[in-house]
Structure 1
Amino acid sequence: MWVIFARAPSPDAQVWPGRRVLAFVDAVAWPAAWAAWLLGLSIPLGLVGQCALAWCGVVAVRRAARAVVENHRYHFTTWRWGRWLALVVLFAYGLKLVASLSV
């Protein structure tokens, strides 16, 4: 027997002037960063790498379309993941500071 729990859809984002442009930049920047990372790898990726790059392009187009056309439904990826990344970086600098002070 399967039990499926449906989550409530996330509420619409507040729309403000300039949000559409920033949403477009956010929507395209993340797949572009992944593509740049893939291209910078020193190992040959072959067909898998080509498919991953194509997928980055498809994702960028879909995210850009949502960011421009359905701006009220787009939520910033940078805000979602940037908070956690900043927390990890601050924690790492704290560990580095404690390690340098304890020596």
Structure 2
Amino acid sequence: MWVIFARAPPPDAQVWPGRRVLALVDAVAWPAAWAAWLLGLSVPFGLAGQCALAWCGLAAVRRAVRAVGENHRYHFTTWRWGRWVALALLFGYALKLAAVFAS
């Protein structure tokens, strides 16, 4: 038997002045960062690399359309992933500080 649980869509985000511009920057910055990372690698990827770059461009356009056109439905990627990255960095610095005081 296969049981499928459908999740409810996230609630609409609160719209405030300047949110469209920040959402547009957030929407384009993440695919651009991935594309810059791909272009910075010294390994030749050939067709797979070109497809990945095309995917980054398509993702940037789709995210930008949602960020500007459906701003109430756009949720910031930087806020979603930035919290966890900041938490991991804070934990690492705490470990480093504990190692300094322990020795």
Query: TM-score with structure 2 length normalisation?
Result: 0.95
> 1:3 offset after TM fit, Å?
1.5
Q: Deviations for 1:40-74, whole angstroms, at most 9, x for unmatched residues?
A: 11211111111101100000000000000000000
> 2:37 & 2:100 partners in 1: Cα distance?
32
RMSD (Å) for aligned C-alpha atoms: 0.9
- Alignment of 1:14 with 2:14, yes or no, is yes
CA distance in 2, matches of 1:77, 1:36: 18
Alignment of 1:60-71 (within 5 A): 60-71=60-71
Determine helix, strand or coil for the equivalent of 2:12: coil
User: TM-score, normalization: structure 1?
Assistant: 0.95
Supply the distance in 2 between the matched residues of 1:46 and 1:99 (Cα, whole angstroms): 45
Task: Quote the residue 1:78 is aligned against.
Answer: 78
- What do the CA deviations read for 1:55-95 (whole angstroms, capped 9, x no partner)? 00000000000000000000000000000000000011111
Secondary structure at 2:43's aligned position in 1? coil
The whole-number CA distance in structure 1 between the counterparts of 2:34 and 2:100 is 34
- CA distance in structure 1 between the partners assigned to 2:72 and 2:80 by the alignment: 16
- Which structure 2 segments of 5+ residues have no match? none
Residue in 2 aligned with 1:39?
A: 39
How far, CA to CA, are the matches of 2:62 and 2:88 in structure 1?
29
